[in-house]
Structure 1
Amino acid sequence: MHRILVDQQKITQTQMDEVPSAELQPGEARLTLESFALTANNVTYAASGFAIGYWKFFPTGVAGQGLVPVWGVAKVTESRADELPEGTRLYGFYPMSESIVITPQVSSRGNVTDIVEHRRELPAVYNSYVPVGDTTPEQDHIRAILQPLLATSYLISDWLADNDRFGAEQIIVGSASSKTGLGLCKYLAEDTDRSYKIVGLTSERNRSFVEGLGACDTVLTYDQIADIPALSSVYVDMSGNAQVKAALHAHLGADLKHSAAVGISHWDAFNPAVELEGVKPEFFFAPAQIAKRRDEWGPGEIDRRIGEAFMRLAEEAATWMEVKVHDGLDKAPAIYATLAEGTSNPAEGHVIRL
């Protein structure tokens, strides 16, 4: 079995590795990946692998080397679990690898949870796999690229509404060209009665792309932070760029009511030791908002709303995103490198087909 190992300290360094396929034990099933997406989300997984625990999902047995999680579709090609027959296709959270062995538990609704011991204490949303039946490759690709990102976008918008947007008159979205960032802008813009403004921050290279999406009231580049109006604000940071965050905190001062850290797409500019003026940034963890809403709304409701929100934006994805399909696991390192180096095109979505 081939897999892509990533240096846990130097996350741009990858290597193809081959290990023997493990013999299945009773109650286990082998899932062979058909395709998976690569996005800036995967860079955040690697950059926060120790802090949040993403390296724990798929242990490699190799010191200093990790498997970056990806979202995609796999088929059950071998099973010693009575509840999970061979041929079942599942969408979910996988390693950057050709296959994975899971210990499945199947619910009455048909959803599959990997209950292997080392994953039991990790967030449940990442351990759940959804049967997808006979979906088309195009459907699989869009889902793998956008659903995890847009789910986070929707949950941020829900969390902001849940907190009355901290009384902000403007919401500033850092790295607005990222798919999570643009998704948030679009979900916020759905509120046609809103009294707040949406400000997108991005690079000069991606400014026209963000402006063309039409979801922001204003789009500014990172060197235009001084042009942001001095209004009560919330900053939602997808990039983790310490210099940008420090400049924005200094510019807004007491007007910045909340600073939310979501992603680390600018992982090489991330520096939590940088002193910031005003409010202390707080990490937004999507599974926590899911758990809160499940307690408040009952099982299934938040999942239904996330699904509906995803479909609304997925239907228009063809107007702004070109899906690029790359054949073979060996193509993954080069695509991952462009994402980690920040040179990828935001108008493209990348899929590795095995």
Structure 2
Amino acid sequence: MQRILVNQTSIAQTRTENVESAPLEAGQVRLGVESYALTSNNITYAAAGFDIGYWHFFPSGTEGWGIVPVWGTAKVIESRSDQLEVGTRLYGFYPMAEELVITPAFAPGGFIDAAEHRAKLPLIYNQYTPTRSGNDDDDHLRAILQPLLATSFLIFDWLQDNAFFGADQIVIGSASSKTGLGLCKYLAEPADRAYQIVGLTSEKNRTFVEGLGACDSVLTYDQIDDIAQIPSVYVDMSGNTEVKMALHDHLGDQLKHSSAVGLSHWDHFAPAQKLSGPKPEFFFAPSQVAKRRAEWGPGEIEKQITAAWKRIAADASNWMDVKVYNGVAASEGPYHALVTGQADPKVSVVIRP
């Protein structure tokens, strides 16, 4: 079985290795991974692997090296469980590898991995949803966009839940990321919105973000002084400390909330910096899901997420090209492009092991 290992303290280092597949124990099934997406989301998983626990999902057994989780589709290829038959296809959280062994247990909408090492990890990452066989393009689109746009929608829902913190302006850092562009699009949907949407991005990605048509203005990172000094919220997808410091200094008391979501600029992240204005707070999507489940009952937030990501994905062909690579080892090139910030925001990568 082939897999990709990532150096846990220097996440730009990767290696491909072959390991023996372990025999199944009673109650387990073996999933053969059919396809998975690689996005900036996966860089956040690696950069926050210790802080949030992403390294714990798929232990590598190799000191100092971890397996970065990805979203994708797999098929049961061997079963010692009476809950899942060979041939069943499941969408969910997988390792960058050819296969995964889980201990399935029934759950609303599908199954969870009831393996002991995953028991205390967030439920949203332990769920596996049955999906019909058929169109590869549907699998690819789901793997690329569903996790990212679900996060975008949950941020939008959370902002609504907090009355946008009284802001007249929402500033999105790394607006070219799919989570960023998704948030811009959700923010632009309400016809009666009382806030402006400002997308921050690099000079090379500015035209791409402008072409989305979701932002009222698009500025580059060296134009922070051009941001209006009015009540604002900052949603940071990049984790770039220099940008965050500059924006906090510029907006000062007019910054009503600062939210940290991603670490796509992980190499520019420096924790424990003293900042002007409010202290940044980390947005953890599973917490908003748990809150809405408690308030609305099981299944309702999931329905809204599904409707929302499909709504934004409907015109994805206008702003996204999918590039498919074959073989687990092919993950290393696209992963390095993402981790070094060289990836084209218009191109989305799918790996077919």
Amino acid paired to 1:69 = P
Shift of 1:135: 3.4
Distance 2:106 2:51 in 1: 30
Distance 2:27 2:327 in 1: 30
Structure 2 counterpart SS, 1:4: strand
Shift of 1:275: 1.5
Shift of 1:322: 0.4
Structure 2 counterpart SS, 1:166: helix
Contact 1:173 1:201 survives alignment (8 Å): yes
Distance 2:178 2:158 in 1: 18
Gaps of 5+ in 1: none
Find the counterpart in structure 2 of residue 12 from structure 1.
12
Distance 2:188 2:271 in 1: 31
Distance 2:313 2:238 in 1: 23
Find the counterpart in structure 2 of residue 302 from structure 1.
301
Could you say what the CA RMSD is over the residues aligned between the two structures, in angstroms? 0.7
- Mapping for residues 1-354 of structure 1, pairs under 5 Å: 1-107=1-107, 111-354=110-353
Amino acid paired to 1:26 = A
1:227-258 Cα offsets, whole Å, 9 max, x none, are 00010000000000000000000000000000
Distance 2:109 2:307 in 1: 20
Contact 1:84 1:106 survives alignment (8 Å): no
What number of residue pairs does the alignment pair up?
353
Shift of 1:110: 5.2
Distance 1:313 1:279 in 2: 31
Distance 1:124 1:219 in 2: 36
Percent of residue pairs bearing the same amino acid type: 63
Distance 1:93 1:83 in 2: 19
1:247-306 Cα offsets, whole Å, 9 max, x none, are 000000000000000000000000013221110000000000000000000000000000
1:81-131 Cα offsets, whole Å, 9 max, x none, are 001000000000000011010000023x55010010010100000000000
Distance 2:203 2:136 in 1: 34
Shift of 1:134: 1.8
Distance 2:283 2:134 in 1: 32
Gaps of 5+ in 2: none
Amino acid paired to 1:189 = A
Following superposition, which runs of at least 4 residues in structure 1 exceed 3 angstroms of deviation? none
Amino acid paired to 1:46 = A
Distance 2:252 2:33 in 1: 48
Amino acid paired to 2:215 = C
Distance 1:172 1:335 in 2: 28
1:171-196 Cα offsets, whole Å, 9 max, x none, are 00000000000000000000111010
Distance 1:196 1:315 in 2: 25
Amino acid paired to 1:180 = T
Distance 1:312 1:110 in 2: 21
Amino acid paired to 1:117 = E
Amino acid paired to 2:47 = A
Q: TM (normalized to structure 2)?
A: 0.99
Q: TM (normalized to structure 1)?
A: 0.99
